[in-house]
Structure 1
């Protein structure tokens, strides 16, 4: 509820649902699945448990909705700085700011959720990102057009290398990745895998 000229204004519809899902996301990232209860989310959102139960039957459904809601608000556009190296570092640094806490959550705090639902970290990650084309796909395709990247080397597994290594670093350390490590992922591992051969002068 919010005060407006001394009167109480009730949130309804999409405004109320967005407030609940924002509260649910913060509760999840602060307390993990163990502390992710209807009571805690309702209290954080300034509403009641029956309001939540009318929308989501279980806390697993509420978790899924909160992750989708948060993912939809993220900036997922592909930068175009003029080079694959700079574009990749831009999106990795953005993910480091936006998603490192979520990746820690995937690794350390959702064991009960996986056991309860039979879900996997990959499926939860898909809730956040969806199945749409990624910024990295756009970056790599532009790199092919500019002649920076050899398209024959871009197998699906190779395309996944930057983020696979980034996620590994987060999940092994349970913290954001140092910038020098992000640069090493791009400069020492990925670009040598995909760089187009340079013509002899």
Structure 2
């Protein structure tokens, strides 16, 4: 998303960290780029050279924070193992500091078309590609039929986890992830054709 010359990694981390800090303090709607620049000891012009707007800056900050969790494409050798690894990453993300930020962004996604577009293009599409690769491996191993609906995992798993964590206030332990995998996701994928 950067438009200008590459930022020094330390400067970029300072800006992205300031963005996350202010996002946690003020929420998305009240987040201002001049406040980010001030907190990061950078100029507002520097921010605009590298990010076209607030939405792109926020998405980059969140991606930087979460890159180790969900961006990896874990191949455990089985669909069940891949699902458990993916669900564990989602759980860790949602129950960590970033989960609170993302929960707060949900309302902003409905009101801010730029943020919604940036999230869809930068975050959601990446996760869909990883999901597709996981399904392709399972199909190649004969664990799933070739016409398995690729939307089952990305539509069902985050919704169940979000509901359990943020709405019901319940924990998501390894036993629950096994239940979600064995009793809900795999049966839905097998029957989705």
- TM normalised by structure 1 equals 0.66
Mapped contact 1:32–1:109 kept (Cα < 8 A): yes
Task: List alignment gaps of at least 5 residues for structure 1.
Answer: 1-11, 197-201
Q: 2:57 aligns with which of 59, 62, 80?
A: 62
Query: 1:124: which partner in 2?
Result: 119
Of 81, 90, 104, which residue of structure 2 is paired with 1:108? 104
2:73 aligned counterpart, secondary structure:
coil
Q: Give the Cα–Cα distance (whole angstroms) in 2 for the partners of residues 72 and 168 of structure 1.
A: 23
1:186 CA displacement: 0.5
Q: Pairwise mapping of residues 139-154 of structure 1 onto structure 2 (< 5 A)?
A: 139-152=134-147, 154=148
Counterpart in 1 of 2:3?
none
Following the alignment from structure 1 to structure 2, what is the Cα–Cα distance between the partners of residues 164 and 110? 12
3-state secondary structure, aligned to 1:79? coil
Determine the structure 1 residue equivalent to 2:150: 156
Indicate the residue corresponding to 1:41 in structure 2.
Answer: 36
**1:3-22 → structure 2 map (5 Å cutoff):** 13-15=7-9, 16-22=11-17
Q: Is the 8 A contact 2:145 2:190 kept in 1?
A: yes
- 2:80 counterpart of 1:85: yes
RMSD: 3.6
Distance across 1 between alignment mates of 2:101 and 2:126? 21
2:185 to 184, 187, 190: 190
Q: Tell me if the contact between 1:79 and 1:91 (Cα under 8 Å) persists in the aligned partners.
A: yes
The Cα of 1:69 is off from its aligned counterpart by 4.8
Greater helix proportion: 2
Going from structure 1 to structure 2, the CA distance change for 1:176 and 1:138 (only over 3 Å counts) comes to: farther
Q: What is the distance in 1 between the residues matched to 2:170 and 2:123?
A: 19
- Give the structure with higher Rg (CA): 1
Greater Cα shift, 92-101 or 142-151: 92-101
Determine the C-alpha separation between the residues in 1 that align with 2:65 and 2:122: 10
Question: How far 1:171 moved relative to its partner?
Answer: 4.4
Q: How many residues align?
A: 183
Contact between 2:71 and 2:127, CA under 8 Å: does it hold in 1?
no
> Any stretches of 5+ residues in structure 2 without a counterpart?
1-5
